[in-house]
Amino acid sequence: MSLLELIADADERGLAASGLACLDRCLPPPEDGSDPEPLRPLWAGCETGAEWATRLDAVLAGLGPAGSGAPGAGDTTTRVVALLHDAPRNFEAAPLRAWADACSLLALDVHGRFDFPSATDPDALNRCREGGPVYGGPLLVGELRRQAEILETLSEGTETAGGATGLRRVMDLSVEGRRVLRAVMSRRARGRTRPGAP
């Protein structure tokens, strides 16, 4: 199945977890020593939607109006926080599907911007999600694979879909992706601060 088909078929839990995982991977590390995993409280709300709105408001309050991130990654942080503000308070499939779709596109765009060759054309990214050719580098390819694997893990009928096991697997996949992207962000930031760097 294509990524768009997986999003279309996902239930509330799959949509909430996949959208959250996309944002969690893209949020740059804090500069000020604050919580390196500020979205973690939301994971507990993905299972049944219990206290989803309350947890979302608490996370947003902790992040502040724009959050904080690695040097040169301010735009990414702003976009992640904006999508958190747009997250539906009702734990229902229709609004969560639209939100998860937007989170998917943001994550692909962010990975495409830090990739080589870069790939940020919205139409091209949507074709990738439809199962078309991928015009990008390893970061984009890896993110497409990771998003699909997360949705497949939480889909009904899979061995790991039930209970907390599936969510733990999703969190592990997201943490792995976050480490990769943050390492690339850090290298890019160091390159910009080097003497003579453009």
pLDDT higher than 90, residue 14: yes
State mean pLDDT over 142-165: 78
33 vs 99 pLDDT, higher one: 99
**pLDDT at site 159:** 46
**pLDDT at site 198:** 46
pLDDT tens digit string along 161-175?
555 678 999 999 999
Torsion angle (degrees, nearest 10) of CA 171, 101, 121, 153 = 40
Sign, CA torsion 3/98/14/66: positive
Domain boundaries, the chain: 3-192
Average predicted confidence (pLDDT) for the chain = 86
